[in-house]
Amino acid sequence: MTCSLSSPAADMASKAQTAPSWKTFVFYILISFLTSFSVFTVLRGASKARVDKICTKVETPTMYYTGESDSKKTPRGTTSTIEGELVILLWTWPFGQRFPLDQCARIHGISGCTFTVDRSWYSRADAVILHHRDVCSSKTQLPQEPRPFNQRWVWFNLESPRHSPNLHFMDNLINLTLNYRRDSDIFSPYGLVERTKSPQDFRIPNKTKLVAWAVSNWDPTLTRVAYYNQLKNHLNIDMYGGRNRPLPPGKTISTISQYKFYLAFENSLNQDYITEKLWHNSLLSGTLPVVLGPTRENYELFLPSDAFIHVNDFPSAKELAAYLHFLDANDEQYGRYFEWRKRLQPIGYTDWTIHYCKACQALRQQLNYKTIPSIAKWYK
């Protein structure tokens, strides 16, 4: 006969073997917390690294002015002040790139503003232009002194929403937007078309090659890269920039003009985001652009419908490639895509001056004072 032990001590021993103790439970909770915290830290660090990579880390811009601060003196890097003109302070040079500040009247016929990059003029400035990518790392990159009465802050940005972090920094600070979007306060696109005074005899540059694409930002997660990976299976594409074929400075137009087609693929698919890839690289080169970006209808707000080929016109990359091969073999059909250039000419803006001159013009015309609660809600 086998005897079995049954006692409170035995029951406790049995439960100890089958159920975890409170210490074990606390240990599991602690491990879970540490694991979650580690994952959060890594993700937060990755996000910060992306912002740091995008935003310029400049607390104080490089100035032409190097002398003492004296409100009665005109600093170097400032256009000479004329009574009645608006004083516009560039809080930073955009991406650190300098350019003449006194060209608005001569080049664009816009006058009435004095531009400066000297921050000692902050208290005298009628407006301050903030280039987003130079002030998006930290709020300390924004003006820290109290804003003078009626001074207007202009948010300037030509990058897509994807590449414009920390928009919330601008909440309740901005009075006017200067942007490529048609619904911005100061509309300043990458390019436009102008009607010619008389019919033009536009001649298509001599073509010896088929398709080119110049790309420096190679991100496999982008739509344009995914589409290229499909298209290259049916079409030979010459790649320039980055790790591809070199594209020497000043040789973009002469190089791309040899090709019948240029892939004007944008890095972001956003409203009105139509950049120099179309205006400068393709149209000014006399090459037929194949575009990937906003919708065809959006492109047609900027240029004629027969000035480009949109990837969305075709069910697949294979069918697009077949159409490009067809045009390559049919000069008459290819030439029809350039008929519009007899009456219109493309203008591609490749310098910063025009954007600041447009700000001058708008600031003189727009007298109403307003404050934008959130740039982020609009810019998406």
Would you please indicate which residues are annotated as catalytic (active-site) residues? 159
- Nearest-Å Rg of the Cα atoms of the chain is 29
Measured distance between the N- and C-terminal CA atoms of the chain, rounded to whole angstroms: 82
Beta partners for residue 218, in sequence order: none
DSSP string, 118-167: -GGGGGG-SEEEEEGGGS-S-GGGS--SPPPTT-EEEEEE-S-GGG---G
> In whole angstroms, what separates CA 376 from the centre of its chain?
14
Tell me which residue has tokens 């290229």.
Answer: 228
Other Cβ atoms closer than 10 A to 89: 26
Q: What angle do CA 283, 212, 322 make, to 5 degrees?
A: 100
Other Cβ atoms closer than 10 A to 244: 14
Q: Could you give the CA distance from residue 184 to residue 177 in angstroms, rounded to a whole number?
A: 6
Q: Could you give the CA distance from residue 251 to residue 186 in angstroms, rounded to a whole number?
A: 32
Q: Quick one: CA torsion of 348, 351, 355, 361, rounded to 10 degrees?
A: -100
183 to 301, 376, 378: CA distances (angstroms): 13, 14, 10
Q: Could you give the CA distance from residue 302 to residue 285 in angstroms, rounded to a whole number?
A: 18
Q: How many helices (H) and strands (E) does the chain have?
A: 10, 13
Q: Using CB atoms within 10 A of its CB, is residue 44 exposed (0-12), middle (13-18) or buried (19+)?
A: exposed
